[in-house]
Structures are given as structure tokens and as C-alpha cells.
């Protein structure tokens, strides 16, 4: 006899549904007939596209999470946001400097951060958001880039910031500045680029372009894969 599945009461846009226990918010939405075209992304917690606001019956406190990661709970009220409407500075990476002063010029509200740590508590990736905001205030772009490396740009830290700051956009700026100006150059990458520019791989590329799909698939399946270290 098949084990009976426990059903959980949830509310989507105020409408009551019952769904099997153990589903994520995203799969629960689809179970209820909602077709996920936007706000679904990678479905694996990497892209940050499925930021979702929820609370519980008789509990007004708003909570935030990624719909593809958060498991549904009894009496959960759900609503998705198409994107978090945060302010993003406009800049040309070729025309800015990798300095703390530049970060503050583009995001002057950064000085309003008073270290409440709400951003850290909100982050679905469990990043130390407050600490890299402190690094940004000190102009330590390298540390911001390192500590925010796994940021998926979901915007939930900005959703909870009482000062209206946008930590994920500030971190993105610092990662871009670090990658463009501060990261050490890779000798093997420079060598490979030089080989490409001299046309070393032109014949191989032309051969691949002229292959049939079946032959390309076989070539891909039979390729040498370097072991992971």
C-alpha cells in the first residue's frame, strides 16, 4: 500500500491551495497550475532570479528567499516579485578607477550603512554581506570581490536593508573593478590568446564548423576530460 502523502495548506496571491509536503516554493507554484516563464531561471540556486516574498497566516512579518530552494511550510502566504527594483549606478568600466573613492562616488549612500547585519541574515547564500559592505566603506575592493564571489544577485539583501542600500550592486561593481584592474594576470591565458591571434587554431575551428551534428556530438562525447584536483 502506497504511503499517503501529507498535504500542506498554502496561499498564492491570497488563494488557498493544498500541495504535497516537501515541495519547494517553485514546484508548489507549478503544482498549483502556475506556469513559470519568468522568475524561474536555473532552478538550482545559482542565478538568483526567483526571489520570493512570503509570510505566514496571522504573522505579518515578511520573509524572503529563493523559490527554487525554500521548502513550503504550513499556512505559507506566497507572492513573487518580477525583480527587485533597486537603484544601480551607471558607469563605463573603462572610464572608472579601482579605488574606494570611486565606489563611494557611484554609491554615496554606502556611508549610511550602520552595521545592523540584516543583509547577512537575509542572504540565501549565507554570505557575510555586512562584512563586505564594511570592506567597501574602507575601499578594500579585493576583499569585497573575494567575500561576495558567490553572490547570485537576487537582491534580497537590498529588500531587507533599512537604509535602502544595494549591497549586491555594490559588490558587483567591486568584482568588476577587481577583475578589470586588480586581479593578477594569468600567463597561460595570455599565451593562449596570443596563439589564437596568430591563427594556430584556425584549421581546427574550420574543421569543426564543417562537421555534421552527429559527428560533433561524437567528438564531444569522446573528448579528453581533465581530472578535477
Q: Which of 80, 101, 121 is the last residue before a domain boundary?
A: 80
Same domain for 98 and 73: no
**Would you say residue 151 lies in a domain?**
yes
Q: Which of 163, 182, 201 is the last residue before a domain boundary?
A: 182
**Would you say residue 121 lies in a domain?**
yes
Q: What is the per-residue pLDDT for 17? A: 95
Tally of structural domains, the chain: 2
CATH number for position 156:
1.10.1060.10
Same domain for 129 and 169: yes
Distance in angstroms (rounded) separating the CA atoms of residues 97 and 85: 26
* 8 Å CB contact between 130 and 159: no
Q: What is the per-residue pLDDT for 80? A: 67
Q: What is the per-residue pLDDT for 177? A: 97
Q: What is the per-residue pLDDT for 20? A: 94
19 in helix, strand or coil?
strand
Same domain for 173 and 109: yes
pLDDT per residue, tens digit, the chain (229 aa), is 557 889 999 999 889 999 999 999 999 999 999 888 777 778 887 787 788 888 898 887 888 888 899 999 999 998 766 666 678 899 999 999 999 999 999 999 999 999 999 999 888 889 999 999 999 999 999 999 999 999 988 888 888 888 989 999 999 999 999 999 999 888 898 999 999 999 999 999 999 999 999 999 999 989 888 776 5
Q: What is the per-residue pLDDT for 227? A: 72
Cα dihedral 160→86→114→124 (10° resolution): 40
Q: Which of 24, 59, 80 is the last residue before a domain boundary?
A: 80
Domain extent, residue 144, equals 93-182
CATH number for position 36:
3.10.20.740
169 in helix, strand or coil?
helix
**Would you say residue 228 lies in a domain?**
no
Amino acid at each position: 500500500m502506497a504511503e499517503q502523502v501529507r498535504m500542506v495548506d498554502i496561499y498564492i496571491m491570497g488563494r488557498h491551495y493544498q500541495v504535497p509536503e516537501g515541495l519547494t516554493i517553485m514546484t508548489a507554484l507549478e503544482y498549483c497550475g502556475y506556469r513559470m516563464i519568468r522568475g524561474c531561471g536555473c532552478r538550482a540556486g545559482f542565478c538568483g532570479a526567483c526571489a520570493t516574498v512570503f509570510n505566514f497566516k496571522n504573522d505579518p512579518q515578511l520573509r524572503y528567499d529563493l523559490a527554487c530552494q525554500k521548502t513550503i511550510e504550513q499556512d505559507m502566504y506566497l507572492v513573487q516579485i518580477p525583480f527587485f527594483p533597486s537603484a544601480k549606478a551607471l558607469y563605463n568600466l573603462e572610464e572608472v578607477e579601482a579605488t574606494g573613492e570611486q565606489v563611494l562616488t557611484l554609491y554615496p549612500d554606502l556611508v549610511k550603512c550602520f552595521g545592523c547585519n540584516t543583509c547577512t541574515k537575509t542572504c540565501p547564500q549565507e554570505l557575510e554581506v555586512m562584512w563586505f559592505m564594511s570592506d567597501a566603506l574602507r575601499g578594500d575592493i579585493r576583499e569585497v570581490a573575494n567575500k561576495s564571489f558567490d553572490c547570485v544577485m537576487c537582491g534580497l539583501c537590498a529588500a531587507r536593508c533599512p537604509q535602502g542600500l544595494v549591497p549586491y550592486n555594490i559588490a558587483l561593481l567591486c568584482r568588476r573593478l577587481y577583475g578589470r584592474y586588480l586581479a593578477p594576470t594569468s600567463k597561460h591565458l595570455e599565451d593562449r590568446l596570443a596563439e589564437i591571434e596568430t591563427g594556430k587554431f584556425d584549421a581546427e575551428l574550420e574543421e569543426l564548423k564543417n562537421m555534421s551534428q552527429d559527428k560533433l556530438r561524437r567528438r564531444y562525447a569522446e573528448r579528453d576530460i581533465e581530472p578535477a584536483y
